[in-house]
Structure 1
Amino acid sequence: MRDDAWLYPIVEIVHIVGIALLVGAAAMFDLRLLGFGRTLPVQALARHLLPWSWVGLLLIVPSGLLMFTTQPELLDNGVFLLKLALIAVAGVNAFVFHAGPWRVAGDWPQTPPARARLHAVLSLLLWIAVIACGRLLAYV
């Protein structure tokens, strides 16, 4: 990838599009859990957004791995390691949400329970931090 003037930028664009899809879908869902767009049924919104987040993930993982292959020295970069840790925590947060409060989402009142809202706040903060770390990599 280092020898081609266009390959790395194309892979980076694919990565950014994946981030937009994954984080955009997650953010829209999280904001709904936090009370925005109350007229949208939570489960219907999830059915619409979840496939987009999977598409985003399918773009992010291979493109991220390809970019990493050009800079393995990132393993010595604290910001990169923090980014990976934050991604792992965001994944655990999503898993715990789906294994916990989401299992009874059909029984939720108009406002999701506090535990679901806590997961939404964590999700938003974690993904913002992941994006910030990704951008900081260009400067540290």
Structure 2
Amino acid sequence: MQAWTAWLAGTPVARAMRDGVWLYPAVETVHIIGFAVLVGAVAMFDLRVLGFARRLPVRALGAHVLPWAAASLLLIVPAGLLMFASAPQDFIANPTFRLKLALLAAAGVNAALFHVGVYRGVAHWDAGVAAPVLARAQALLSLLLWTAIVACGRLLAYT
């Protein structure tokens, strides 16, 4: 791992991220904008599953916001990789960064389980009725995980 992170830190892209006055802040801004879109879309969907705006069909809301959440990854992932490349050894050694990655994995697993599980029966609770307990629990967990991920991202500047 050390050899790989040393190689990555020595690449021209990593050097540019470290040495450019405006490049890192610009990439970080793109990352944050992507996260705002992702977390905003996910939060709106999760709040609907939790019972807010119950007259709004879950499937209709999902059809509008979930593509935005998925598309936001086109901003988040490359920007995150560029920031990581700027100091891979420091990021890997940082417990807050490792926690953020673990929380991201948990959020991904939670979303996957939701979509291959309880969401397949959404026609029964699409509008006007409460979502199943499992769906609500997964929505609440999603909100908590994304809040923690955002907090970890901000704490990286201080740890």
Q: Same fold (TM over 0.5)?
A: yes
Aligned mates of 2:105, 2:73 — CA distance in 1: 13
Amino acid at match of 2:18: R
Q: Is 1:91–2:111 an aligned residue pair? A: no
CA deviations on 1:65-94 (whole Å, 9 max, x unpaired) are 000000112101111000000000000000
Query: Max radius of gyration: which structure?
Result: 2
**Residue 120 of structure 1 aligns with which residue?**
139
**Residue 41 of structure 2 aligns with which residue?**
25
Aligned mates of 2:81, 2:130 — CA distance in 1: 39
Q: Is 1:5–2:21 an aligned residue pair? A: yes
Amino acid at match of 2:136: R
Amino acid at match of 1:91: G
The within-5 A match list for 1:1-140 is: 1-72=17-88, 73-108=90-125, 110-140=129-159
Aligned mates of 1:7, 1:41 — CA distance in 2: 42
Tell me the TM-score normalized by structure 1: 0.97
CA deviations on 1:70-123 (whole Å, 9 max, x unpaired) are 011210111100000000000000000001000110122611100000000000
Please report how far the alpha carbon of residue 7 of structure 1 lies from its aligned counterpart in structure 2 after TM superposition.
Answer: 1.1
Q: Higher mean Cα deviation, 93-102 or 4-13?
A: 4-13
Aligned mates of 1:3, 1:139 — CA distance in 2: 20
Aligned mates of 1:15, 1:86 — CA distance in 2: 17
CA RMSD after TM alignment: 0.9
Aligned mates of 2:36, 2:142 — CA distance in 1: 15
| Equivalences, count | 140
Aligned mates of 1:58, 1:38 — CA distance in 2: 31
Tell me the TM-score normalized by structure 2: 0.86
